[in-house]
Homo-oligomer: A and B are copies of this chain.
Amino acid sequence: MGNTEGPVQSVILVSCPDQRGIVARVAGAIHEVGGNILDASQHTDTSSGMFLQRIHVSWPEDSPDPESIQEAMDELAQEFRMTWQIRWEQSLRKVAIFVSRQDHCLHDLLLLQRDGALNCRIPLIISNHQDLEDVAARFGIPFHHVPVEGSHDESAESAQLSLLKAHDVDLVVLARYMRVLGPNFVNQYPNRIINIHHSFLPAFAGGRPYHQAHAKGVKLIGATAHYATAELDAGPIIEQGVIRVSHRDMVSEMERKGRDIERTVLARAVRWHLEDRIVVHDGRAVVFS
């Protein structure tokens, strides 16, 4: 942490049962170990009485002694039955992108990462088709073709998991990956697999959502970025967007319009995850803006 010029920054996430004085005590503890709070957001879930907080801290070059910080926060944690984590800005997470044949979401993620807007490394792209190998090549990212047979191909999932482990992947992004991942896979990355579903969930879960939307005659179509869970298309919703359609739009036109929503919604969700803005509580994603 001493290899950058100027102050270093980190994000601390805490959650505990709501108690009087918690905000002041956490602020005080961070202050005592030398941190300067740049921004703090909190939310109390009134039904469960759970207090959630995201604190963006700046540490002067000479101060952030990780051990003292750990000690101070652990002490608080014990007193308030609190869980907490700290992420240092410089520690880049490793993201694997899964794709099938469509490249609009992939392109956006790769361009954003290249431009420094996604604070991560992308060590690999995995696909059940070979179509996007050249896109990966252009961006200099290793591409792994893992063919998938049938609806639950355990050997394919096992190969994918091996790749993820080998690259020590922190986050999986399903960028219009058109296969369902089994519970065994999903449960190994709780709240660390982000999927983009091309509808305004919970409307039109499952397959062919644009066909469903067209048949129903809706006037807006949407896209939903959510964490994948074992239950299909039912995980915590991170972000949603919509665009207007009319009777003039055939399914193919809906698909075209939808792509703009899909890629912006997915990119936003990935960005927020990497900025530690999301806390999942009680099946819902709290996003600190």
Q: Cα distance A287–B217 when bound, in Å?
A: 11
Q: Cα distance A43–B202 when bound, in Å?
A: 30
Residue A136 is within 8 A (CB to CB) of chain B in the complex: no
Q: Cα distance A217–B239 when bound, in Å?
A: 10
Are B36 and A20 in contact, with the CB atoms below 8 A?
yes
Are B256 and A260 in contact, with the CB atoms below 8 A?
no
Are B240 and A286 in contact, with the CB atoms below 8 A?
no
Band of interface residues on A: 35 or more
> Across the interface, which residues of B come within 8 angstroms of A285, CB to CB?
217, 247
Residue A166 is within 8 A (CB to CB) of chain B in the complex: no
Are A31 and B21 in contact, with the CB atoms below 8 A?
yes
Are A256 and B117 in contact, with the CB atoms below 8 A?
yes
Of B27, B103, B238, B248, the contact of A28 (CB 8 Å cutoff)? B27
Taking chain A's interface residues, is the majority helix, strand, or loop, or is none over half, making it mixed? mixed
Are A24 and B31 also in contact (CB < 8 A) when A202-B203, A236-B217, A246-B287 are? yes
Q: Mark A209-244, 1 if CB is under 8 A from B, else 0.
A: 000000011111010000000000000111111100
Are B44 and A42 in contact, with the CB atoms below 8 A?
no
Q: Cα distance A42–B220 when bound, in Å?
A: 21
Q: Mark A54-84, 1 if CB is under 8 A from B, else 0.
A: 0000000000000000000000000000000
Are A27 and B38 also in contact (CB < 8 A) when A220-B200, A246-B289, A286-B247 are? no
Q: Cα distance A222–B220 when bound, in Å?
A: 10
Are A217 and B247 in contact, with the CB atoms below 8 A?
no
CB distance from A56 to the nearest CB of B (A): 10
Residue A250 is within 8 A (CB to CB) of chain B in the complex: yes
Q: Cα distance A36–B42 when bound, in Å?
A: 13
Are A38 and B44 in contact, with the CB atoms below 8 A?
yes
Of B24, B43, B202, the contact of A27 (CB 8 Å cutoff)? B24
> Across the interface, which residues of B come within 8 angstroms of A260, CB to CB?
264
Q: Cα distance A24–B40 when bound, in Å?
A: 11
Q: Mark A89-124, 1 if CB is under 8 A from B, else 0.
A: 000000000000001100100010000010000000
> Across the interface, which residues of B come within 8 angstroms of A14, CB to CB?
none
Q: List 29 A-B contacts (CB under 8 A).
A: A20-B36, A21-B31, A23-B36, A24-B27, A24-B28, A25-B31, A39-B42, A40-B40, A41-B41, A43-B247, A45-B247, A103-B111, A107-B107, A107-B111, A200-B200, A201-B203, A202-B203, A202-B204, A202-B216, A217-B236, A217-B237, A218-B240, A220-B222, A220-B241, A220-B242, A242-B242, A247-B287, A260-B264, A289-B289
